[in-house]
Structure formats: structure tokens, C-alpha cells
């Protein structure tokens, strides 16, 4: 039987160097250390390859860096420990990393990676927030805080404890298998997630220019007039999940739907799952009295029937899933079923974005959260601000984008043999193993 060829790290390195001009971006990296003997480039490459190989901690990366063969392949200047990673990355400059991520995404667009899979010729992005971690013992200057009631282990009344958690908002392209994050914005103490989302949307035209994407999918939290005004000013359309039943828009739409037959009714079948869909839509409804921009409201009633195996036999299970969305798309181009499909696509930022990073990329490990081991600012005789968590998150997003482009767009082995993305990471890691001498059989 012929062996299946594997991906090798030199192939990945050539790809990112030739297509994305990676060495030029690496030269711009900097941190706050004074005359370091280990360059910021070497520190970045070590952390970058740690994520590429799906290592779960800096301690695991430190063990890998003790091998001279792997140091040379990764591009590290010399062996070093996780204390050097913490000391350097906690003081890294964020701007060069944001420029690197922007350059990668703009190159992907110029290479027409985002052209295929468009919906009616439109590129689609989604915006959503997530919590990176939760801690009762560590807190940084950027953490949000809340009181959480915890059960008493001795059976007494619940006890309240102060919990710290950093939270961020991200914008991700979702209409293609390659789904890079465009930018991130951290929620600051004392503000809501919607404020950070508006700040992120205002930054996107500065980073990518106008119309990098055409449709933005949003959760119900962002169904606010300032966001619709900003989207209209930027020339894009939105599809927003609508959950607030007390809103005038929601009640006006439900009043139009009541006692009326559905505008569309159809059935979908996928891999043993049957979905019966009924759709209603109402056009020209004012978003609010203060901002009466006309929007369309779509209501969906879905009955999902599955037949999972339980106790060795097929058993039918039926669940009802209602859904309501509002959109600013042209009804002549985007029908009700297509808007429903876009509304469901918002979950891709959860499943293919945050959840993928959490399950497979150690996103919620909490790298450098509240790190105290960082250089000192000589002008103020105190440590520089800790940017470690934001820096590591950006490095993770850069690695996520480059690896996805390499595997899903560039790799012929992926198209021919269909290995999982995790297996491709393992193949890149195993390609660093030096050839072992043959083991002599016992006499």
C-alpha cells in the first residue's frame, strides 16, 4: 500500500513568506525590552509555531525549544524558557500585529479567496463578543467584574464572590471556508459590549477601506439605532437577530403576522434531519420612532425532526425552533428564505470562530492574563502596561488565518486526501522530528 504524503513545515514556511511577505512584517515587531539578546522576531516565531502545532501552554513550547533542530526550523535565535516569552510578549507593541493581520486579510482578498461562496455576489461577515476566561484570583486593568453566587460546600447559603473576566468583540468573514478575523476590540471596564462593537466598526474602514464586506450579521444585542446609522454610512447592510419581544418593532411585526398564512413554506432535508419551515415577512417597518429607517422583519417557525440512534434503534425526535430577524437588504434581491439562511449563518462565528479557537487553539487558556513579569518603563520607574493577553490573542488570530489559508486554499494534499485540520497541524509538527537511528534487533 502506497504511503499518503504528508504536509511539511518548510512548505508552510515558503507559502507564508512568498504569498504574504512574512519576513517584512516580522521586521516591524518590537517590544519594551532594553537591548534584548533575543529579538522580538524570535519570540513571535516561537509563540506563532506553538499555536501552529496546537501546543497548549508556554511550558510545552519551552520543552520543544530545547531541541536545536526545532529551533532552526522555527526560526528561534536560541533556546529560551517561558519566562522570556512572558517578559517579551507582555510588553509587545500591538500596532505591528494589527497591521500584520490586516495585511494578511487584504492579501487574501486580492488573491480572490473571498470571491467564491458569496451570497448574491455579496461578501458576508459576522460580529460577536465572547469572554476569554473567568477568574476569581487574577484581575488586570482591562478586566470586567461581576458578583457571582457560588454554592456553599458545607450546605450553607450561597456565597457571593467577585469574578473578573476579560471580554472582546471580533469581526470575522464567514461566507468562505477560510474564515479569518478582521479585527478585535476589547470591552473596557464600565462600558457595554455594544460600545466596543461600535468602536470596532468605526475602525474597520480605517483598516480595510470601504466595502471589504457587504453584509454584516449581528446578534440581538446590537439592534440599536447607532449601529444601523453607522452601517448605512459605511454603505453596508445588516441582518440582526431580533429577540426583544417588548420592542415596538417586534410587536408591530407580530401584529402583521397574526392570523395570516405564511408567505413561504418549504422543507429541507440534510443527513437524516428534516426541517419544515414556515416564513412570514413584513417590509417597510420603522426601526424606532426616533430613527424610522425602514427595515424588513422576518419570522420563521421551524420544526426539526431528527432520528438519532438510541439503544440500538432509530428514534424520532421533533423540536420547534422559532426565529425572528430584521434586515436592511433589498427584498427584490434577497428573498425571505435567503435572509433566513443568512440569519442562521451568524452561528458560524460561534461554531467556526470562538468555539473552534477554544476547542482546538487554546484560546481560553488565559496566556499572560494579569502578568506581572514585564519590563519597566524608565521614564516612570514602573512596569509597562500589560498587553500580554491582547498580544497573544492577535498572534493566535494571525496563525489561525495563515494556517486556514494554507490548508484550505493552497494545499493540494487537503483537496485530494481530506485530512482534518488538526491532523495537518500534527503533520507539520511531526515533520520537525529528526530521523532516528535504526534500532538494532536483539540477538
For 338-369, what is each residue's pLDDT tens digit? 999 999 998 888 888 899 999 999 898 888 88
- In-domain check, residue 21: no
- Compute the distance between CA of residue 368 and CA of residue 82 in angstroms, rounded to an integer: 11
- In-domain check, residue 149: no
* Cβ contact 298:336 at 8 Å: yes
* Cβ contact 117:415 at 8 Å: no
- In-domain check, residue 188: no
DSSP H or E segment with residue 127: strand 124-131
Q: Locate cell 524608565: which residue?
A: 378
Give Cα separations from 238 to 215, 280, 298, 441 (angstroms).
Answer: 6, 19, 13, 68
Mean pLDDT along residues 145-153: 87
What average pLDDT is seen over the chain? 89
Structural domain span for residue 270: 234-330
Is 90 exceeded by the pLDDT of residue 31? yes
| Among 2-11, 224-233, 306-315, the range of highest mean pLDDT | 224-233
Instruction: Decide the pairing of beta strands 167-173 and 382-383.
Output: unpaired
Pick from 45-49, 52-56, 96-100, 309-313: least confident: 309-313
pLDDT at 435: 46
- Compute the distance between CA of residue 284 and CA of residue 57 in angstroms, rounded to an integer: 53
Is 50 exceeded by the pLDDT of residue 437? no
The sign of the CA dihedral 151, 154, 157, 163 is: negative
pLDDT at 350: 83
Q: Is 39 helix (H, G, I), strand (E, B) or coil?
A: coil
pLDDT in tens, 262-314: 999 999 888 778 899 999 999 999 998 889 999 999 999 999 988 776 766 77
Is 70 exceeded by the pLDDT of residue 438? no
3-state helix, strand, coil in the chain (%, to 5): 40, 25, 40
- In-domain check, residue 243: yes
Is 80 exceeded by the pLDDT of residue 434? no
Q: What confidence tier does 370 reach under pLDDT thresholds 50, 70, 90?
A: confident
β-bridge partners, 150? 159
The sign of the CA dihedral 16, 21, 22, 23 is: positive
- Compute the distance between CA of residue 173 and CA of residue 119 in angstroms, rounded to an integer: 13
> The C-alpha cell of 170 is what?
471580533
Please list, in sequence order, all residues whose beta carbon lies within 8 angstroms of the beta carbon of residue 18, skipping any fewer than 6 positions away.
Answer: none
Residue 274 burial (CB count, 10 A): 15
Mean pLDDT along residues 432-443: 57
Q: Locate cell 494578511: which residue?
A: 104
- In-domain check, residue 428: no
Q: Locate cell 480572490: which residue?
A: 112
Higher pLDDT, 409 or 209: 409
Is 70 exceeded by the pLDDT of residue 420? yes
Q: What confidence tier does 326 reach under pLDDT thresholds 50, 70, 90?
A: very high
pLDDT at 262: 93
- Compute the distance between CA of residue 403 and CA of residue 414 in angstroms, rounded to an integer: 12
Is 50 exceeded by the pLDDT of residue 436? no
pLDDT at 1: 38
pLDDT at 440: 54
Domain count, the chain: 1
* Cβ contact 281:257 at 8 Å: no
- Compute the distance between CA of residue 228 and CA of residue 246 in angstroms, rounded to an integer: 19
* Cβ contact 216:282 at 8 Å: no
β-bridge partners, 278? 265, 301
- In-domain check, residue 39: no
pLDDT at 159: 85
Higher pLDDT, 89 or 246: 89
Terminal Cα-to-Cα distance of the chain (whole angstroms) = 30
- In-domain check, residue 281: yes
Residue 58 burial (CB count, 10 A): 22
Residue 37 burial (CB count, 10 A): 10
* Cβ contact 199:129 at 8 Å: no
- In-domain check, residue 157: no
Amino acid at each position: 500500500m502506497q504511503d499518503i504524503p504528508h504536509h511539511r513545515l518548510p512548505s508552510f514556511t515558503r507559502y507564508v513568506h512568498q504569498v504574504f511577505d512574512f519576513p517584512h512584517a516580522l521586521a516591524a515587531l518590537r517590544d519594551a525590552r532594553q537591548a534584548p539578546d533575543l529579538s522580538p522576531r524570535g519570540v513571535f516565531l516561537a509563540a506563532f509555531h506553538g499555536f501552529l502545532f496546537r501546543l497548549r501552554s508556554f511550558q510545552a513550547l519551552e520543552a520543544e525549544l530545547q531541541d536545536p533542530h526545532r529551533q532552526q526550523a522555527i526560526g528561534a535565535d536560541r533556546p529560551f524558557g517561558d519566562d522570556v516569552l512572558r517578559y517579551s510578549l507582555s510588553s509587545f507593541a500591538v500596532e505591528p500585529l494589527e497591521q500584520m493581520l490586516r495585511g494578511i486579510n487584504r492579501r487574501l482578498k486580492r488573491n480572490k479567496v473571498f470571491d467564491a461562496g458569496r451570497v448574491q455576489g455579496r461578501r458576508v461577515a459576522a460580529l460577536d463578543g465572547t469572554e476569554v476566561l473567568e477568574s476569581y484570583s487574577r484581575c488586570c486593568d482591562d478586566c470586567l467584574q461581576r458578583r457571582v453566587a457560588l454554592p456553599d460546600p458545607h450546605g450553607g447559603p450561597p456565597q457571593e464572590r467577585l469574578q473578573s473576566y476579560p471580554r472582546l468583540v471580533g469581526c470575522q468573514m464567514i461566507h468562505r471556508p477560510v474564515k479569518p478575523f478582521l479585527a478585535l476590540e476589547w470591552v473596557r471596564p464600565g462600558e457595554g459590549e455594544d460600545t466596543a462593537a461600535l468602536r470596532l466598526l468605526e475602525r474597520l474602514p480605517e483598516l480595510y477601506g470601504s466595502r471589504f464586506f457587504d453584509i454584516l450579521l449581528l446578534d440581538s444585542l446590537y439592534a440599536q439605532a447607532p449601529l444601523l446609522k453607522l452601517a448605512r454610512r459605511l454603505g453596508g447592510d445588516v441582518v440582526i437577530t431580533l429577540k426583544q419581544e417588548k420592542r415596538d418593532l417586534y410587536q408591530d411585526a407580530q401584529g402583521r403576522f397574526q392570523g395570516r398564512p405564511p408567505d413561504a413554506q418549504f422543507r429541507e432535508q440534510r443527513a437524516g434531519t428534516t426541517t419544515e419551515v414556515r416564513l412570514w415577512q413584513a417590509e417597510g417597518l420603522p426601526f424606532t420612532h426616533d430613527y424610522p429607517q425602514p427595515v424588513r422583519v422576518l419570522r420563521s417557525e421551524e420544526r426539526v425532526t431528527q432520528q438519532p440512534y438510541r439503544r440500538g434503534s432509530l428514534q424520532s425526535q421533533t423540536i420547534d425552533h422559532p426565529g425572528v430577524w430584521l434586515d436592511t437588504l433589498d427584498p427584490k434581491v434577497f428573498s425571505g428564505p435567503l435572509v433566513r439562511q443568512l440569519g442562521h449563518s451568524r452561528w458560524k462565528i460561534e461554531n467556526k470562530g470562538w468555539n473552534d479557537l477554544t476547542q482546538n487553539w487554546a484560546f481560553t487558556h488565559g496566556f499572560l492574563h494579569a502578568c506581572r513579569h514585564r519590563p519597566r518603563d524608565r521614564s516612570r520607574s514602573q512596569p509597562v502596561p500589560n498587553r500580554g493577553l491582547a498580544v497573544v490573542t492577535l498572534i493566535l488570530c494571525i496563525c489561525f488565518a495563515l494556517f486556514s489559508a494554507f490548508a484550505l486554499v493552497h494545499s493540494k494534499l487537503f483537496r485530494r486526501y481530506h485530512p482534518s485540520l488538526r491532523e495537518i497541524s500534527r503533520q507539520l509538527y511531526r515533520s520537525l522530528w529528526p530521523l532516528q537511528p535504526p534500532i538494532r534487533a536483539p540477538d
